[in-house]
Amino acid sequence: MRPTPKFERDAPIEQIDLLSVQIADASHESVIIYDVSARIVHWNYASQRLYGHSNVEVRGKHPEEVFGADKIGPDWNELKAGGSWQGVVQRIGFGNTSVLAEIRLRALRDEEGLITRFIEYGSPADARNVDGHAPGIQKDWIAVWSIDASGAAAILEHIGRIRDQGLTHLTAADPELVAEHLRISDMNIAATRLFAGGASLSSLVGKSAYRYWPQKHRAKLLELTIRVLQAPESKTPFVTAAVEDDVLSVWRGAPDRPHLISTSVSGSWNDPDTYWDLAASEQRYRNLINNVPLPMWQVDARVMSDVINRLKATGVTSIENHLKDEPDLVRFASEAVVVTDVNDSAMRLFKGEVRDEFLTNVTYLFSGTPEAAMRVVMAHFSGGRNYSEEMKIRTFDGDIRDVLFYVTFPQVPEKLDKTLIMMIDVTDQRRVEQQLRKIEADFAHAGRVSALGELVTSIAHEVRQPLSVIVTDADTGLRWLDRDEPNVIKVKAIIARIVENAHRANEVIRRIKDMAVKTDPMRSIVAVNDLIREALLFVRSESQTHDIAITTRLLSGLPEIFGDRVQLQQVIINLLINSIHAISTNNRQTRIISIETTFGPKADVIFSVRDTGGGIPEEYMDRIFDGFFSSKLDGMGIGLAICRSIIIDHGGTITARNGGHGAIFEVTLPLPNDMENTIGNPDPP
């Protein structure tokens, strides 16, 4: 024990007031009160139980007279200068027994700042955590961790098997591979205060001890820990190392519990301020994550970073090709990357109750969309800062949720052990969108039926014409067969014409059925020029009835697009019907509608419909695509709104403007990403 400072040893013993005695005696902790000369003026019943001496025996004595002069204890000179001290001490109790205690000493001062007395709080130290500590280490504080290393031992064994199989590129030589499998089972007061921000022990049990080791000593402590774990289970090894002013120790408690190990860091009192600052910073960081209203995970992906660096060093440039040859790499990544922290929002999203359920590898994050893990590995390999996608997750109770998944990879020189994952639950939003799409589909169906209603005369003509030809040809064929010498050649020609017109009538009915039947959208590769030619058949009789000419200028060789054939055809027919109505209603002399297709400047296809109907009134221009707006008294006002909805859903745009003698509607549709941009020559009008 460090010598007691030179106080006035001959001064009379200070008398302590009754209230202080009563407060001390009521405490379950050992409470020792010293006067300004460091003489014991009172110790309570808990002190008597801890050390075996009564208050009468020790009153008036100095610490070295009671506890012995050769044991580890506080430096009273530093205590007088600094005002406080905390640590594990070794003392002599009744019958020369060794007593280990965790104590906190404070100097009490008067209004002028002069020390009036010292007060010590103490409790028995866990002998399992401190026993075997390097003898003779004269340090001011000792932080001790008791660790369950069973998971780390299993990982080390697993790595050994993998390396025996020659798959060395799947494992990291860095010992931090096992770091997150060292779980806290106990910590002393100094460890929690200096390295855990004063968090409660119950909140720390089960978490990674590596996270709560001093940052500058983590690598060395991990090295010593692995050495202890790799020792035969029948041994109780003790290893120690001096790093700067600190002493690090790791030991195994007993052969019957080979995976329960202890680690400690002993330091001088001039260091804790730095450690406290670091612990406070870590605590603020954890508080920040927990207060974010979105589900967040902090994961340690350094193992995977090391694997990726090794792959690149061996010449791997395409992670896609490498994953085909080594499909187990994704599974290895999911098992090796571990969650080190999680906030309350994440626990609610996955419907978990215990935080320890989440502090494991990240496999559970990808159980709903397993292939997403591969895409994250590919993004990590590419070296990007962020990656995001929409995916499904499976909660702990089996529920499937839609989420937006975001991951931010740390970059040098940031802390590479802090990869952040965030999710945004969009399940309800997707359900609403699905309902809206159904409503839009219902409106689109209503719009098609309405358009067919307006074309009923034209459709009747389209169907009646081939049927009339069929009836006429059938009568003619019967007459040829009724002759004394039937003209077989003529009859064959007539039958062929009947078949041709029957197919024509059937095709008209098919087109009407496609437009009228309510079906879910089905997208495929379609040619815009073919859609326009087929739509013209719908409105041909209508345009002829109103004496309106429809001209086309369709670009040959135009790239195909990806879309729903019926929906896009509905857009074309709606625009043509609107143009026919505009020309016939305004009784224009020039009665022309022109349709043109061209290739856009941004890998897109453009088709436009121009008419000579007099144009759109300026006061209607901003409202023309609004739902239920119509300039016609009997109009439903959903035609152009549906057109806009369909085109936007296809990733395109639709615009309207006036030009020449009427309105111009222009539709832009994007090409598939892998479509070649080829431009042909326009067909002659």
Distance CA 220, CA 661 (A): 84
Task: Answer whether 564's CB lies under 8 Å from 583's CB.
Answer: no
Query: Does the structure show a pLDDT above 80 at 458?
Result: no
Give the whole-number percent of the chain exceeding pLDDT 70: 75
Instruction: Tell me which of 54-58, 280-284, 576-580 is least confident.
Output: 280-284
| pLDDT value of position 132 | 37
**β-sheet bridge partners, residue 120:** 32, 105
E strands along 301-451, which residues?
Answer: 338-342, 386-394, 400-408, 419-425
Q: Which residues 6+ apart lie within 8 Å of 108 measured at CB?
A: 115, 116, 117, 118, 119
Give the whole-number percent of the chain exceeding pLDDT 90: 10
Q: Cα(first)–Cα(last) distance of the chain, in Å?
A: 107
Strongest mean pLDDT among 67-81, 198-212, 291-305, 540-554: 540-554
| pLDDT value of position 321 | 85
CATH topology for the 298-417 domain = Beta-Lactamase (3.30.450)
pLDDT confidence band for 665 (50 / 70 / 90): very high
Distance CA 621, CA 341 (A): 55
- Report the CATH architecture of 18-125: 2-Layer Sandwich (3.30)
E strands along 93-233, which residues?
Answer: 98-109, 115-124, 141-148, 183-187
Beta strands 260-267 and 246-252: pairing type?
antiparallel
pLDDT tens figures, 291-328: 667 888 888 877 777 788 888 888 888 888 888 888 78
| pLDDT value of position 360 | 83
Q: What totals of helices (H) and strands (E) does the chain contain, helices first?
A: 22, 22
Mean of pLDDT values over 92-104? 78
User: 566: closest CA among 441, 462, 468?
Assistant: 441
| pLDDT value of position 317 | 84
Query: Does the structure show a pLDDT above 60 at 279?
Result: no
Instruction: Tell me which of 15-29, 434-448, 522-536 is least confident.
Output: 434-448
Mean of pLDDT values over 477-490? 77
Task: Answer whether 143's CB lies under 8 Å from 188's CB.
Answer: yes
| pLDDT value of position 361 | 86
Q: 298-417 and 438-670 share one CATH topology?
A: no
Which DSSP symbol is given to 650?
T
| pLDDT value of position 434 | 74
CATH of domain 438-670: 3.30.565.10
pLDDT confidence band for 580 (50 / 70 / 90): confident
Q: What is the rounded average pLDDT for all residues in the chain?
A: 77
Query: Does the structure show a pLDDT above 50 at 131?
Result: no
CA–CA distance from 642 to each of 421, 446, 514, 572, 581 (Å)? 39, 10, 17, 12, 18
| pLDDT value of position 10 | 46
What angle do helix axes 488-516 and 528-545 make, rounded to 10 degrees? 100
Other beta carbons within 10 angstroms of residue 371's beta carbon come to: 9
Distance CA 198, CA 48 (A): 29
pLDDT tens figures, 589-644: 888 999 999 988 777 899 999 998 888 888 878 777 775 545 554 444 566 777 88
| pLDDT value of position 381 | 86
Domains of the chain, by residue range, sit at 18-125, 141-283, 298-417, 438-670
> Which DSSP helix (H) or strand (E) runs through 563?
strand 561-564
User: 171: closest CA among 316, 315, 307, 299?
Assistant: 307
Q: Say whether 240 sits in a helix, a strand or coil.
A: strand
CATH of domain 141-283: 3.30.450.20
CA–CA distance from 67 to each of 51, 55, 64, 70, 73 (Å)? 9, 14, 5, 9, 9
pLDDT confidence band for 173 (50 / 70 / 90): very low
